[in-house]
Structure 1
Amino acid sequence: MCCPRPEQQQTQTGSVKDGWKLMKADIGFGGQSRAIYAENPLESRGRLFPEPESPTRTPFQRDRDRIIHSSAFRRLKHKTQVFVYHEGDHFRTRLTHTIEVSQIARSLARALRLDEDLAECLALSHDLGHTPFGHEGEDVMHECMAPFGGFDHNAQSLRVVTHLEQRYAEFDGLNLAWETLEGLVKHNGPLIDASGAPLGKFKDSQLPFAIRDYARKQDLLLHTWPGAEAQAAAIADDIAYDAHDLDDGLRAGLFAIEDMRDVPFLADILAEVDGKYPGLEESRRIHEIVRRSITRMVEDVIREAVRNLNEVAPQSVQEIRMAGRCLVGFSADMTAAEKEVKRFLFARVYRHEDVLAVRKLVARVVRDLFARFLAEPDLMPKPWNSGLGNLGETEIARLVCDYIAGMTDRYAIEEHRRLFDDTPDLG
């Protein structure tokens, strides 16, 4: 069911004196003018399963609330970002990372006069499909699922919100609005070309099962770019990732502040901080570096997005989709600078010997669990072990994948201890 357009409201409701319908299509819900190219909740394409409208919340506000109240969202608290769950209370988890992405996405949306609630939805849901143990867990899951179509965390996020969350009486999943699902599945750009051929990392294979399966139910325009809100959430993810991995890497002692002078972008910020606050204690020095790097990146995105939007002059969200390129992202200079930051983090954090040692151990946990459950799926608890006699090997593998991908780090370790006598000690 689509939301009524402004000109329809009087005839459909008789009166528009209640709730969010008082707000006209061209007024932002923060009180500022909404850009003509922003997603408009009054014109949502609706939900796969029609539901009565809320008298107090827009479709995107409702989606945000459903995501926050989901089981998958709560589990992010105990899923690794870089450091496994036990290593310290001050390191980021998937949950704290998600909250930071959400804050940056809302800031970008506000500056560009987009729908902040939709940008927040996409930020809050973007990591729901991640496995335990961070990217190592994802890599191992992709390896295990290679004979059955592979694994992709973004596709798994779609599967979570459209199938695996089973809480509502009338449907599986969260029944999110079309715009939320579209932005979630393709926030990094089109997944297929106009002829239907896969693009990007799927070019030489095929789209993941979860995306192909859902595309049969609802057309998410996989050949176009997403709206500007999804683009804002995607670049917010990059900004948050870089900043908090610098912060966590420094606080974990994986590299020293002085090592950052090897990266011009970071060296410039370090010189600025030291020039203004000579002799500043290290914890405050780290925070100043991190916050300034976020500020510089955010301001660069806003400047570049404004330049792109002025150049393209979109008159609707559909023209954003058909622009043929990303409009909300880094400038060329910041793109280059950000790549240098990522190279630094790759060498100093992700490939640090201490991190690699733990990654090797957790990889064995995921690999062992997958092999055992694939061979003996009845070892999974209820309801995962129900109705197995009607499933083929590929379907069982997908069920095992869903089960393991939903685990927290801690639960994965507990399941390994239940099934094996040689669970690695991550302490």
Structure 2
Amino acid sequence: MAAGVVSRDAECAAVARFLDAATREPSSLLIEGEAGIGKTTIWLAGVEQARERDFHVLATRPAQTESVLSYVALADLLSRVDATVLDSLPHPQRLALDRVLLRGDAGDAPTDPRAVAAAFLSVIETLAEVGPVLIGIDDLQWLDPSSAAAVAFTARRLSGAVGVITAMRSDASPALDLFRDRLPRPESSRRLVVGPLSLGALRTIVARRLGLSLPRPTMVRIHDISRGNPFYALQLAYSSVDGEISMQTTLSDLVRARVSEVGTETREALLAAACAGSPTIDLIARAMSVTHSRVAEILDEAEDHKLIHYEGHRVRFSHPLLAAGIHADARRPGADACTPRSPVSSPSQSCGPDTSPCRLPSQTNRRCTPWTPRRCRRPTEARLAPPQSCSIWPSASVATLPSVISGQPDITCTPRTSTKQRRG
């Protein structure tokens, strides 16, 4: 069984069979289940197994905050493709991808969606001539429409050793499955439904992730309340250290309690991270108007409380619900935190000349007003943005925590790298 995966023998076997098939013909595997059930854990294990089998892996993990940005997921998929492959494309396709990747001077002409899709297909075909290719998309429900169109175009025309592994919440629209009935052979599309874990499996996860060995009656109660959902069980186990577990304890209460354990400055840093689609120490430092080293020190507390971890230069929440909970709590009447009036963005994601970072509560004596998207004014960004805006936060579509919890998003078991090691 892959590292980080607990009591998922059948699921791991299904992933292995999918990878075997992908070495022969275009194949897809959709990992589906309620939020919090462990889809991302299995997806990550599949991606890692593909790398061990010498697949060329193109992967993206879309975020809700980035779903309004055009081609952002496609840019992630292409980010590890060698420049010589991109430069070998026909001129119209190369120019289209230059615009998607924001490379060089792309001129003033609008981006042609068909040229983008054809270019992505050409890249996949070129890589497949050398060895098997895996396209990995986690949280398919947050894939931006422009990238989805390019990926669907490619799926219908795939040939050779190409696999596509995706993960999606079971309450998402079936229409979001971009590969069902689109591959050359429909029977090559597989679906894997992830179910709840047993009491013994939850005990193992609690011991590994939290270092806790709880009495059996406590674990039985946690299993009954969580119904085998590993993320919910972890939050219950974490809270059980301080007292009796209530049957009325909601997941939103547990997440709020977790975040409240850190200091005000740390919560401000976490709010800045929650407002950014791809938070980094640099973006958080700009939002808080402090140095990079100070942000690293602040985030040490969040890391010690297992609220965040690092993936390269990115700051990632240990679970998407933590980010959703922080942002939702900031929008509650009477909350201390506030919604930034401008998005925390990188230059490539900026809508216009005004890219000043947001001001957080400790830096102003007046309450921030809710931020609303601005029309794109920069020519290059305007060509790539959806018609309504290219804002980081869609106006009126920020999910509150209760609406997210129709089941709690999946556990992500990523190796932890300490901030102190990163600074060393």
> If the length of structure 1 is used for normalisation, what is the TM-score?
0.28
More strand, by proportion = 2
Larger RCO: 1 or 2 (CA < 8 Å, sep 6+): 2
More helix, by proportion = 1
> If the length of structure 2 is used for normalisation, what is the TM-score?
0.28
